[in-house]
Amino acid sequence: MKRHTQVTIALLLSAALIAPAMAQELTGTLKKVKETGTFTVGHRESSIPFSYLDDKQQPIGYAMDLCMRVVDAVKAELKLPNLKVNLQPVTSSNRIPLLQNGTIDMECGSTTNSVARQQQVSFGPTYFVINVTAAVKKSANIGAIADLNGKTVSTTSGTTSVPLIKGYEKAKHIDVKEIYGKDHAESFLLLADDRAVAFIMDDILLAGQIANSKSPADFRILAESLRQEPYSMMLRKDDAQFKALVDKTVGGIMKSGEIEKIYAKWFTSPVPPKGLNMNFPMTPPIREAFKNPNDKGV
């Protein structure tokens, strides 16, 4: 019995020594960050109010606030309080390649979590839910998306709006001419300058562009929806360790109710630099996403 007890104690001591070593073994993004001492956040420049530049050309927004909380969690997890954080602008077209090749470690903006994209990347918990629709000038007398038949519309290159409008054309047997902006600001300008009669995009992004325009009263957003879509921060695929940290951090903000204050800051209050107010209260789908954090794609 005595020998058995000694063996048991020895095994327990060995397990105790091995456990910390295993716990400290890093993989994927966390390993990369630990080795380089840097973490690079990919951000948008005109996705108001998710990720955009302020009057000092610094990225701010709802998505940026949540992403910086993830950065804080990475600092704590890796015990790197002085971790260098780089900010890298990305576009709809290059955000996935830059994440995959390691240029950025997380993308923070207005990215739709789609089943198709999940073949290439992963996502954190859904932090917004939108409807894809169209912004038009009130003077154009466009009441539905079908009224765009034979007309020119703008959308942003690399977004889910591109295949959605093409699918709508095929299903409804209409024909529209698409022209593309490199970002949402450029796509909206095509509408504002009458080079397009509509801008096809997510309703909240349309609201942001209209609010930021010279004459907000000239525009309106159609009630019709091409599809409802979830937004989230984008992560590298097959990186379970970092994704678990993101899910824990963002999910915790949602379940604690802290998300209510962050949401109100960006969607129902004036935002910098012009004091715009999106006037976009939480919808039932958004509340449900906060109540039950998930990464389900559309």
Residues 102-119 have pLDDT tens digits of 999 999 999 999 999 999
**Residue/partner pairs of 80-84 with CB below 8 Å, 24 or more apart:** 80/33, 80/34, 80/37, 83/33, 83/37, 83/38, 83/39, 84/37, 84/38, 84/39
Residue 105 one-letter amino acid:
D
Phi-psi region at 57: left, alpha or beta (left = phi > 0; alpha = psi -120 to 50): left
Tell me the fold of 27-127+232-291.
D-Maltodextrin-Binding Protein; domain 2 (3.40.190)
Contact 108, 64 (CB under 8 A): yes
Question: Alpha-carbon torsion 39, 40, 44, 45, what sign?
Answer: positive
Residues in the chain with pLDDT < 70? 1-24
Place of tokens 């020594």: 17
Candidates 3.30.230.10, 3.40.91.50, 3.40.630.30, 3.40.190.10; CATH matching 131-228: 3.40.190.10
Q: Counting Cβ atoms within 10 Å, is residue 162 exposed (0-12), middle (13-18) or buried (19+)?
A: middle
> Peptide bond before 49: cis, by omega within 30 degrees of 0?
yes
Contact 230, 126 (CB under 8 A): yes
Residues 160-172 have pLDDT tens digits of 999 999 999 999 9
**Helix (H) / strand (E) containing 219:** strand 219-221
Cβ-count burial 262-282 (b if 16+ within 10 Å, e if not): bbeebbeeebeeeebebebeb
Closest CA to 200 of 158, 148, 165, 149: 165
Q: What is the pTM of this model?
A: 0.85
What confidence score (pLDDT) does residue 6 get?
Answer: 52
**Within the chain, what is the greatest distance between any pair of CA atoms?**
92
Residues 176-217 have pLDDT tens digits of 999 999 999 999 999 999 999 999 999 999 999 998 999 999
Q: Where along the chain do its domains lie? A: 27-127+232-291, 131-228
Alpha-carbon span 123 to 113, nearest angstrom: 7
Alpha-carbon span 145 to 40, nearest angstrom: 39
Query: SS3 letters for 58-90?
Result: CEECHHHHHHHHHHHHHHHHHCCCCCEEEEEEC
